[in-house]
Amino acid sequence: MESMHQDRDSFYKKIETEINKRIHAYTNNRKFTIAFGNAMETHVKHLKIHRRLATRRLNQLGLPNKDEISAISVRIVDYEEKLDLLDESIFWMNKRQKENRNKLKMIRESWGALQAVLEKETREIHACKLKSLEEELNELKQLFELNLEEKKHDE
């Protein structure tokens, strides 16, 4: 079965090669090249005429022509790119803002905890100072009392 497939393939390849040779024989000469060039020039002239007529008709109807549509398309693409950049910028700004809010929240919580610790330490220091002042005053009082007693004895 595979040999039949190969036979068909080789048969079609031979036909293709033969057709290509004939096409090449008919087209590979100066006469064909000149005729083809003339046909292309005529075709281009017709295209230019049709383009001018179409442009005139579009102008009469107040519709944009190909160049105007192309210019608008370029602007639309530019604006879409700018919008994409703005959208991406807004996305990242929102993300950073959310991160900053979370950091600020953590800082506020830390600050609150630190403030509580500092207030506690301040109260403790104040209480210790009061106790030490009280003790010093008691010592001074005792010294004065001793001093007064000594003066009484000396008199």
130, two tokens? 């009061």
Amino acid 145: pLDDT: 80
Q: What is the DSSP letter of 155?
A: -
CA distance 133 to 18: 122
Give the structural domain span for 29. 1-63
pTM more than 0.85: no
Q: Tokens 């160049």 sit at which residue?
A: 67
Amino acid 2: pLDDT: 60
Confirm whether 8 is domain-assigned.
yes
Amino acid 4: pLDDT: 66
Amino acid 151: pLDDT: 73
By the 10 Å C-beta count (0-12 exposed, 13-18 middle, 19+ buried), 82 is classed as exposed
Confirm whether 44 is domain-assigned.
yes
Cβ atoms < 10 Å from Cβ of 22: 10
Report how many domains make up the chain: 1
Q: What is the mean pLDDT of each run of 10 residues along the chain (155 residues)?
A: 72 93 89 93 96 92 90 96 97 97 94 91 84 82 79 71
Amino acid 111: pLDDT: 92
CA distance 12 to 20: 12
Amino acid 155: pLDDT: 64
Confirm whether 56 is domain-assigned.
yes
Confirm whether 72 is domain-assigned.
no
Amino acid 9: pLDDT: 86
Confirm whether 40 is domain-assigned.
yes
